[in-house]
Chains A and B, each alone.
Chain A
Amino acid sequence: MSASQDLPVTGASTAAVGLIGALALGIGALLVTVAQWGAKLRRRGN
């Protein structure tokens, strides 16, 4: 047994982290897709 199992996930701090996480995840996924698109174009060009 270990770690943070006594730490409840309720309230505003969880919601804030969830929001930040979701935003970061969304932007991250967008950036990865765009980078893959750039790489694809380059590979085609070669």
Chain B
Amino acid sequence: MGLMREVFLISTITLGGIVLFLIVAAFGYGFLRPERVTRHGERPEFPRYRPVAPDEVAIMIACRNGAATIAGAVRAARATGARVYVVSDASTDATAREAAEAGAEVLELTENVGKPAALHAGYVRFGLGTAYRAVAILDDDVLVAPDFVTAALAHLTERVAIVVGHNVTWWPPERRWNPWLAKRAYSYWNYQAVVRRIQSHFNVMNCISGSNSIYRTELLDVLLPQQPPYIVDDTYWVLETHRRGLGRVVYAPRATALLQDPTNGRDWYKQNLRWLWGTFQGIIGHRVGRRNTRFDYAYVLLMAHWLLYVLGAPLTLWLLATAGPGLGTGLLLLLAGQGLWVALAAWRLRRPRLLLFLPTIVLADLLYRVILVHALVKAIRQPTVDRCVWASPTRFAVPATTDA
């Protein structure tokens, strides 16, 4: 006990000393360099944008060989009341015809240029920058709710540049026992209920949904002509929006979209690897953490979380095996903790069967740590890409109507 008290006293006195020193140093800094200390209310503000009416919003979808899903996506988008524009990125199937029959205006590219370049081509050709004030960019397999546009516009206030929609995994009855869909349904819920809400509040969102977000045309005029150097285009867009101070990035929990997610382990791994690879490319390329902004600060905290998350698993197992109630009991305790979260998700998503997926969710969670490390290594070896082109996971056809 004597030793513990000594350690406690020494660390308290040391920490107290450091904090006191920092306070004196901060005062001295302000006194000696008053020109470098901003006064209250002096911070640069974001541009003040004009309000957007529902008929000033267009929907654009870039698509390559999406004949199986594009008609459903276009019909759902049309149901919002907005006009829908589709760019077929040199598709070799019936994508263009299906889209046109479903009610979209279609541009067919003859060369496969990748999603961001295809979006730019459509944006220019259809004159969206002048005809509209905002554009919702969707993926070709996304089913937006009929009130998607109005629900998102409610959040597009004068300082806001991007409104991020709410993701829901499309989990149809015929795939009700698919563990990868269960894992993704849980993860989306968890991420959006916690991280995305907090990030939206503080305007530090580092990751948006490229599959269902609304952008002001003033922003797209700046972002779309650029060729993203990262494998995930929306990662680049959100980083540029923060870096250039183009406006707030907020989350609209009621602007719902059903997303098609990977249905097997291979596709799940590959998709997460690409997303995280893009994330790390963004961190390296945009030198995240090197500027004194709230966004950088929040991102550094997030990275600290990733580090603890990756190291935490082996550390916890080691601790459980060597101390405490023993490995078996310890693992059960951990499972119970995770079970509480999954139970909460099962209730909120109205999917009681989610509880049965608890073991697979825990296992996939372990695998996710491997992907994080894999993606980091990949980003260090390949910090940029020439073209933002990738193959999407296997999609399944969208029925004409769905209540999934």
Residues on A facing B (Cβ under 8 Å)? 1-14, 16-17, 20-21, 24, 27-28, 30-32, 34-43
Contact = CB atoms under 8 A, between A and B. Distances in A.
A36 B167 CA distance: 42
B365 interface: yes
16 contacts: A1-B211, A1-B259, A3-B275, A5-B188, A8-B187, A8-B190, A9-B191, A10-B337, A11-B334, A20-B301, A21-B301, A35-B26, A38-B27, A38-B34, A40-B30, A42-B32
A15 to B, nearest CB: 10
B275 A5 contact: yes
Given A2-B232, A3-B278, A8-B187, A36 B37 contact: yes
A11 to B, nearest CB: 7
Interface in B5-42: 19, 22-23, 26-34, 37-40
A36 B39 contact: yes
Contacts, number: 141
Given A3-B275, A8-B186, A38 B31 contact: yes
B252 to A, nearest CB: 16
B391 interface: no
B279 A2 contact: yes
Interface of B: 19, 22-23, 26-34, 37-40, 139, 167, 183-184, 186-188, 190-191, 194-195, 206-211, 232, 234-235, 259, 272, 275-276, 278-279, 297, 301-302, 304-306, 308-309, 312, 316, 334, 337-338, 341, 365, 368, 372
Given A2-B208, A3-B206, 10 more contacts: A2-B232, A2-B275, A5-B187, A9-B194, A12-B312, A14-B305, A17-B305, A34-B23, A34-B27, A39-B34
Nearest to A27: B19
B187 A35 contact: no
Contacts of B23: 30-31, 34
A6 B187 contact: yes
A31 to B, nearest CB: 4
- The B interface, classified by DSSP as helix, strand, loop or mixed, is helix
B275 A1 contact: yes
Contacts of A37: 27, 30
A10 B276 contact: no
Chief secondary structure at chain A's binding surface: helix
A32 B39 CA distance: 10
B304 A2 contact: no
Nearest to B371: A6
Contact of A9 (B183, B195, B232, B275): B195
A1 B31 contact: no
B187 A39 contact: no
Contacts of B301: 17, 20-21, 24
A43 B34 contact: yes
Contacts of A35: 26-27, 29-30, 37
B312 A13 contact: yes
Nearest to B340: A10
A32 B294 CA distance: 13
